[in-house]
Structure 1
Amino acid sequence: MWKLFGMVVFCGLLSPSQQVLSGLSCAISPGAMQNVLSDFIIQSGLLDQHLRGLVLPNIMGEGGLLSSPTSITSLHLVEVQLPKLSVALLSGLGVQMTISAKLQLSGNCLVGLLSELVDISVDVNLHTNIKCTNFESGTVQVVIEDCLCILGAVKIRLLSGLLSLSVNELVLNQLTGTLPGVLCPVINLVVNLVNIQLMGTLNAVVPVGTAGTIHYQLASLPFTSGLFLGLDLDGAVKQVGGSIIPHDSSPSALPPLLDKTMVMGLRQSFLSSAMCLLLQIPSQTFTCTPEAFSGASHLQEAIAGLAPAGCLSCHGTSPLSIKLTLFGNPLILLEENSATVELSVMVQVFVRRSDGSILNILLLRADLGLGAHLWIAGSRLMLGLSLGSISLSLESSAVGISDISLLKPHCRDMLVEVLLPLVNDAVGIGIPLPNVLGLSLLGADVQVLVGLVVILL
């Protein structure tokens, strides 16, 4: 077996990270890791590419009283047959990767005065232990230890069919001594190439529409238990221009993997920062008419009834105008099986006087509780929002209105018809997620826990 470890994400530490991290966390099953490595190393042909044609040292034998001197030269690897890869996690010790294969070698054989082609088939088991050290700025150093090569069955075939037991023993002994020095450097090279590829899945800048980006990167050294590989990733949410939208750090425990391939947890504070990028909606100003929303006439009547007698009519017959402006930062609240987006909106109701000046009839603050439906599409967390609760408060009124209780149902209708479609269009692009280890999120389920959105693959 070849215990091959090719990437940072399969490194093991003495203990899980104790640092409180923001962004997201992943727990990945050994089976998922095995499939990833098999795809990168075996199915892609990377291992075969770097082993094929590998030249081995000559095999020389002096012969004895009953055997002729033997030499095998130009010995090279022709084919890697039936490579098989598996992964084992050792809690507190690291990660082991195992590959078993049959190597087909070919060379020239001289037995006494007879020269002919020789084919050698050898089962090879190579063991390596892999760890990660020296975490810095989203990267770690991969350390490959204890590369041990063990040979299994050896079969030698000459065209003449003449082969002594001493030659078979000679080949086995010399391959046992030389193969580790030839194969281990190749394994190191393959490991480094795979490490580069998979680090790219953990360190990536992805756009969030045109408003900004999320920079995902490894936040600490990976850690292993006997059941899963653990990864913590930072997600730096940046607006266009480079300013970072901060989010708090808070510890969150992932649910157990059970029979899942991967469990990914996205923290509440990180999602709230991402929502700030999504909800970049400019102020909306419109005339309070039925063309703008169906309940416009009812809202005008309600406001007219609250204003002092004749207050509005003295400013002409122009219809009321309304300006909606998002206020503050959106906040995602995650409870068991429930996700809510809290959003505040300033509602300015005004009329424009004949001289062009503006009379502010009302300035209201609407605090909205938007129920969120979450799902995965491609590599993004999607949100669909609906208006749940609304709290309406009076900020000011230039015409002396003080009681706004009758306005709440009409404002609710207006926000549902005018604002909510804009909000859903804005969040419709979704929150991009990292392509951890290249694992596709197709078919993933989403669960909402306290403070955490969990993606189950």
Structure 2
Amino acid sequence: MMVSKLFGIIFFCGLLSPSQEVLSGLSCAVSSQAMQNVLSDAIIHNGLLQQHLQGLVLPNIMGEGRLLNSPVSITGLHLVQVRLPRLSVVLLPGIGVQLTIGAKLQLSGNCLVGLLSELIDILVDVNITANIKCTNFESGTVQVVTEDCLCILGAIKVKILSGLLTLSVNEMVLRQLTATLPALLCPVVDIVMNLVNIQLLGTLNAVIPVGTAGTIHYQLASIPYTSGKFLGLDLDGAVKQVEGSTIPHDSSPSALPPLVDRLLLLVMRQSFLNAILTLLLRIPPQTFPCTPDVFSGANHLHEALWTITPAGCSPCRGTSPLNIKLMLGGNPLILLEENKASVKLSVLIQVFIKHLDGSILNLLLLKADLGLNVRVSIVGGRLVLQLALGSTALSLESSDVGISNISALKPHCSSLLMERLLPAINGALNVGIPLPNVLGIPLIKVDVQI
């Protein structure tokens, strides 16, 4: 069921018509609303802005109060609290993120009017706008630069206990704060954004285990880019086996599909998925007796086998039990079509007799080329693939006893593979493909499209 507002979408693609071409294993489009949520959480809700503004000390304010011609001096002026902070984001094509932070700053200090000294409270509206650019990409990291920082002051309220301040003092305070606050606040924004950058890079550059089979090393592949609708991120996904070797995968240029009304779009490429399937489907060969307690269709397979066995094969009809060996014959290949995913997988089926002296009689060795239908789901931040048998093509590889016509074995081999092999494959895939925690955006209400 489609929902109107999706927190995440996984989109498998092969080769699309390139617009924004990328060469990585995984790409992301992050909407301006999602970026606003991410930065609001990091800067506002987690208290980072308050933390770095706390204790901010402002220069003394000196001037003429026009109250009984008494001079006014305000000293020890410092930030007490950031009230009602709010943040908004605009994505500027080719530039970066335009960040706007609005808040009320509560300041406190000592006010000396003539010989009268008392506490002063100042509440001033500030609006800070800055362009945030990413530069100096290297090995999965970027630096952020704050440019064109503009700090505009709005309404101001000045209060002392005696209430002896005049309008001219308000004007004097506003004038002095307008001259001094931007030089104090803009560097704080720069510090905060650099800390946020480190935090967010940690969500992109991560080594995530894939069960006990190996790991995926996600890393930012290139400098982020912006359009008017989304922030684009390309990630490398190095698929490594547990012993440390990397499973290679090719990358082809492709285009990001439209973001529409989604907060986050993840695009995973076919070659990247093939590398992960190769990692997960390292299933050891299965060898077992062809008996009903192991394979429910064992008796039917026996009967079909005897009908195609040459009459002169006396060992075939002896008392030695049949044995079956299943082994994967090469790496899996995932194929992506519109609204459909399938996996091609080759399996070798050996049917043999093991004599008491240890010698083996190979009745036949079959190659089964399987077409497996893929069902996709998201579980706990992992992409889980489950396979079902769609088609089976059997071919004879060899036979020590002269078997040549294997057409009668197809239904029995299909049953054998469904009963013995598919549970092992789906068990291996049940670990799931770990997805990067892109900018900490939760994958909730996920729509999966192929």
TM-score relative to the length of structure 2: 0.93
Name the structure 1 match of 2:413.
411
Alpha-carbon distance between aligned partners in 1 of 2:321 and 2:34, rounded to the nearest angstrom: 63
Q: Distance in 2 between matches of 1:65 and 1:245?
A: 80
Aligned partner letter, 1:38: S
Find the partner of 1:157 among 156, 159, 168.
Answer: 159
Q: How far apart, in 2, do the equivalents of 1:193 and 1:52 lie?
A: 16
Displacement after TM superposition at 1:362 (Å)? 0.8
SS of 1:329 mapped into structure 2: coil
- Residues 239-388 of structure 1: matches in 2 within 5 Å? 239-313=241-315, 316-388=318-390
* Candidates 91, 101, 104, aligned match of 1:102: 104
How far is 1:64 from its partner? 6.4
Answer yes or no: is the 8 Å Cα contact 2:104–2:126 preserved in 1: yes
Aligned counterparts, 1:22-37, within 5 A? 22-37=24-39
Matches of 1:361 and 1:313, distance apart in 2: 10
**Could you tell me how far apart the structure 1 residues matched to 2:285 and 2:69 are?**
95
Are residues 303 and 116 of structure 1, via their aligned partners in 2, closer, same or farther at CA, if it must alter by over 3 Å? same
Q: In structure 2, what is the equivalent of residue 200 of structure 1?
A: 202
RMSD value, Cα: 1.6
CA distance in 2, matches of 1:425, 1:65: 84
Q: 1:156 to 1:64 in 2, by over 3 A?
A: closer
Identity, % of aligned positions: 72
Look up the match of 2:392.
Answer: 390
SS class of match (1:192): helix
- 1:355-402 superposed Cα distances (whole Å, 9 cap, x missing partner): 111111111111111101111112111112100011111111111111
Unaligned segments of structure 1, at least 5 residues: 1-15, 449-457
Q: Matches of 2:32 and 2:86 in 1, distance apart?
A: 15
**2:116 counterpart residue number:** 114
CA contact 1:378–1:442 (8 Å) conserved in 2:
no
Report if the CA contact (8 A) 1:69-1:112 is conserved: yes
Query: For 2:221, which of 219, 222, 225 is the aligned residue?
Result: 219
Q: Distance in 1 between matches of 2:27 and 2:314?
A: 57
Kindly provide the CA deviation profile for residues 238-274 of structure 1, in whole angstroms up to 9, marking residues without a partner as x: 0012111111111222221111111111111111111
Residue 37 of structure 1 deviates from its aligned partner by 0.9
1-structure distance, mates of 2:19, 2:438: 18
Q: Which has the higher contact order (CA 8 A, sep 6+)?
A: 2
Contact 2:79-2:107 within 8 A present in 1 as well: yes
The answer for the alignment partner of 1:180 in structure 2 is 182
1:316–1:354 Cα contact (<8 Å) kept: no
Work out the CA distance in 2 between the residues paired with 1:167 and 1:19: 59
Aligned length: 433
**Do the aligned partners of 1:222 and 1:231 also contact (CA within 8 Å) in 2?**
yes
SS of 2:247 mapped into structure 1: coil
SS in structure 2 of the partner of residue 174 of structure 1: helix
Asked if structure 1 preserves the Cα contact closer than 8 Å seen for 2:87 and 2:100, the reply is: yes
What's the CA shift string for 1:190-209, capped at 9, x where partnerless? 11111111101110010001
Q: 1:328 aligns to what SS in structure 2?
A: coil
- Correspondences of 1:126-137 after superposition (within 5 Å): 126-137=128-139
Partner of 1:141: 143
* C-alpha contact (below 8 Å) 1:364/1:396 kept by paired residues: yes
- State the 1:316 CA deviation: 3.4
Instruction: Measure the CA separation in 1 of the matches of 2:24 and 2:189.
Output: 35
AA in 2 matched with 1:295: G
1:439 corresponds, among 426, 437, 441, to 441
Correspondence for 2:7? none
- SS of corresponding position for 1:356: coil
Q: CA 1:266–1:189 in structure 2 vs 1: closer, same or farther (change >3 Å)?
A: same
Q: Which amino acid aligns with 2:90?
A: A
Q: Residue 110 of structure 1: CA displacement?
A: 0.2
Shift of 1:62: 4.9
**C-alpha contact 2:21 2:255 (8 A) present in aligned 1:** no
